[in-house]
């Protein structure tokens, strides 16, 4: 059984090591994502400079022009990896900047920056600064980036208040977490490798604190979905049954489907009959993403100096949004599963499968396991409504 404790993050799930070939395979698509983020930042800074020019505020324009050409050169935003290619790239970016500024100056007008454009600029500046930190001896440019980012954040204060972080010291809220999960699904669909690369680029842009927050929130939602009724559903949906390790990967896959599907599955696992299964309903790499990104950003493990009491409080805060369905903590056997999960059984089991397993005396669980024996005491509960206070061994 999966004997993880609810009072501390799941360190054992975040210790995967990669070969050199695997790392190179991961780095290349990640850096494509990073370069795309930098291009958006450069385009946004150009639009911002045009807006300033239209308002007659031109003091910072030379700094902006130099910054965007430096960014382009640092990131190698050209397919021609030669001195001539780099020179033509910086000339083109500088020329685009000059034209935008000139047009805004002549017309005394420029479009307002959208919220997304402002976010793109700030994310790109943060990503640029983080990468320069890895290079060393670039403190002057890092400080310039940080100062500009701080200035723009002051200038662009949002009228609406942002979602509140879950705890003091955290920067990420539950809404922020689920928006990242939804963004990965929107941008990458069912391509799990691309989803990891997209999430990694977003976390790098957000910095170490939010990356650590993401790691802990992910672990919290993983822990809260450790429910035998959901595990029973996973046993039907996964291609080769669902072992302890497979259930870890299944829960990660469930989180990747988004907040609505995640919460619905804990209220009624049979609702997963409406969700398209892909990738074997396994997303092995997702729980590692935050910790691996943290190592990239800081060289440190996200779980260093973890406060168990703070993590326990975090899990309690996450749990407030969850309504556990009646019986979701019960380990169902073959003679009970069709009543509990009728639609999943119809969708994933061959006709006569239940009868075959019963006749062959197969079991879905290790019946001699004390945790299973305790959970099955009294038989399956009646599904008369939701229950909100579930306590399960190994959460």
Is-contact 166 314, C-beta < 8 A? yes
- Tell me the pLDDT tens digit for each residue of 139-189: 888 888 888 888 888 888 743 344 566 666 788 889 899 999 999 999 999
CA distance 223 to 229: 14
Q: What is the pLDDT along the chain (395 residues), one digit of tens a residue?
A: 333 333 333 333 444 455 656 555 555 666 777 888 899 999 999 999 999 999 999 999 999 999 999 999 998 888 888 989 999 999 999 999 999 999 999 998 888 888 888 888 988 888 888 788 767 677 888 888 888 888 888 888 743 344 566 666 788 889 899 999 999 999 999 999 999 999 998 898 888 899 999 999 999 999 999 999 999 999 999 988 898 899 999 999 999 999 999 999 999 999 999 999 999 999 999 999 999 999 998 889 989 878 888 899 999 999 999 999 999 999 999 999 999 999 999 999 999 988 998 998 888 888 788 998 898 888 888 755 445 444 444 43
Quote the pTM value: 0.64
DSSP string, 292-323: HHHHHHHSS-TTTT--HHHHHHHHHHHHTT--
- Regarding beta strands 386-387 and 324-325, do their DSSP bridges make them parallel or antiparallel, or are they unpaired? antiparallel
Is-contact 281 250, C-beta < 8 A? yes
- Residue 57: CB atoms within 10 A of its CB come to 11
CA distance 126 to 122: 6
- Tell me the pLDDT tens digit for each residue of 235-279: 999 988 898 899 999 999 999 999 999 999 999 999 999 999 999
Helix spans in 55-156 (H): 61-75, 83-107, 115-135, 139-155
CA distance 144 to 348: 57
Is-contact 386 323, C-beta < 8 A? yes
- Residue 217: CB atoms within 10 A of its CB come to 26
């Amino acid at each position: 059984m999966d004997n993880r404790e609810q009072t501390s993050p799941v360190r054992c799930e975040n210790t995967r090591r990669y070969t050199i070939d695997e790392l190179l395979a991961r780095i290349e698509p990640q850096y494509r994502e990073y370069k795309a983020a930098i291009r958006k930042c450069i385009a946004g800074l150009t639009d911002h400079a045009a807006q300033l020019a239209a308002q007659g505020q031109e003091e910072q324009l030379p700094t902006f022009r130099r910054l965007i050409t430096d960014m382009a050169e640092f990131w190698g935003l050209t397919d021609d990896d030669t001195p001539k290619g780099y020179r033509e790239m910086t000339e083109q970016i500088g020329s685009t900047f000059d034209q935008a500024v000139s047009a805004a100056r002549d017309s005394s007008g420029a479009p307002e920056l959208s919220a997304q454009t402002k976010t793109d600029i700030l994310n790109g500046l943060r990503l640029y600064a983080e990468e320069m930190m890895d290079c060393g001896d670039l403190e002057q440019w890092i400080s310039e980036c940080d100062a500009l980012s701080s200035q723009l954040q002051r200038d662009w204060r949002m009228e609406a208040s942002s979602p509140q972080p879950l705890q003091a010291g955290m920067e990420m809220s539950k809404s922020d977490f689920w928006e990242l999960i939804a963004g990965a699904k929107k941008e990458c669909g069912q391509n799990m490798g691309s989803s990891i690369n997209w999430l990694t680029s977003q976390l790098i842009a957000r910095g170490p604190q939010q990356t650590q927050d993401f790691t802990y929130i992910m672990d919290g939602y993983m822990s809260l979905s450790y429910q035998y009724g959901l595990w029973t559903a996973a046993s039907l949906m996964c291609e080769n049954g669902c072992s302890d390790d497979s259930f870890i990967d299944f829960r990660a896959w469930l989180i990747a489907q988004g907040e609505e599907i995640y919460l619905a599955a804990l209220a009624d696992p049979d609702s997963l009959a409406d969700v398209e299964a892909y990738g074997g309903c396994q997303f092995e790499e997702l729980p590692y993403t935050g910790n691996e990104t943290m190592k990239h950003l800081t060289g440190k493990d996200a779980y260093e100096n973890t406060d168990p009491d703070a993590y326990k409080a975090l899990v309690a805060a996450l749990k407030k949004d969850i309504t556990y369905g009646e019986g979701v903590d019960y380990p169902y056997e073959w003679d009970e599963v069709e009543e509990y999960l009728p639609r999943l059984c119809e969708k994933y089991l061959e006709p006569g499968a239940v009868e075959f397993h019963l006749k062959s005396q197969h079991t879905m669980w290790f019946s001699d396991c004390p945790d299973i024996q305790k959970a099955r005491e009294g038989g399956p509960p009646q599904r008369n409504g939701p229950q909100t206070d579930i306590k399960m061994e190994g959460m």
